[in-house]
Amino acid sequence: MSTTVDTSFAPVTFSEGAAKELYKLKDQQEISEDYGLRVGVEGGGCAGMNYVLGFDQKKEGDQEFFIDGIKVFMNKAHQMYLMGMMIDWQDGLNSRGFTFVNPNATSTCGCGTSFSA
């Protein structure tokens, strides 16, 4: 079964703004404690892969992390694409939403949610 991992070994990090927004979303949507934030990848998008980010229940094959007090679920197979990534929150006039700073991405597209590794 999955293991809980210390935050010092978590594959991704959150900026201060992203953590604040995630706490706000969890509170506004009244997300239960059974749910965690799913961070992952899926095939598709204009560059080949899309980021997955949303609250979900734990599934078989997930590892569980606590990052800045936020329960995070990630399929172990996705770690090779996401290791070292920072999730940020932009709240500006020209852009608003989560952004992904991924050192493993060899190319990205203009949408900001699609990449290739």
- For residue 40, the tally of other CB atoms under 10 A from its CB is 20
What is the pTM for the complete model shown?
0.81
What is the rounded CA–CA span in Å between residue 55 and residue 43?
A: 19
Cα 48 to chain centroid, rounded: 17
Beta carbons within 8 Å of 43's beta carbon, 6+ residues apart: 49, 50
- The per-residue pLDDT for range 70-87, each reduced to its tens digit, is 999 999 989 988 999 999
- Tell me: the pLDDT tens digits for 34-63? 999 999 998 776 657 888 999 999 999 999
Give the pair of three-digit tokens for residue 90.
């932009």
What's the pLDDT at 1?
A: 47
pLDDT tens sequence across 6-25:
545 789 999 999 999 999 99
pLDDT of 3 over the 80 cut: no
| Structure confidence at residue 42 (pLDDT) | 86
Structure-block tokens of residue 106: 């060899």
Instruction: Name the DSSP letter for residue 25.
Output: H
Q: How many CB atoms lie within 10 A of CB 115?
A: 24
Q: Flag the least confident range among 26-30, 65-69, 95-99.
A: 95-99
Looking at the predicted structure, is the pLDDT value of residue 93 above 80?
Answer: no
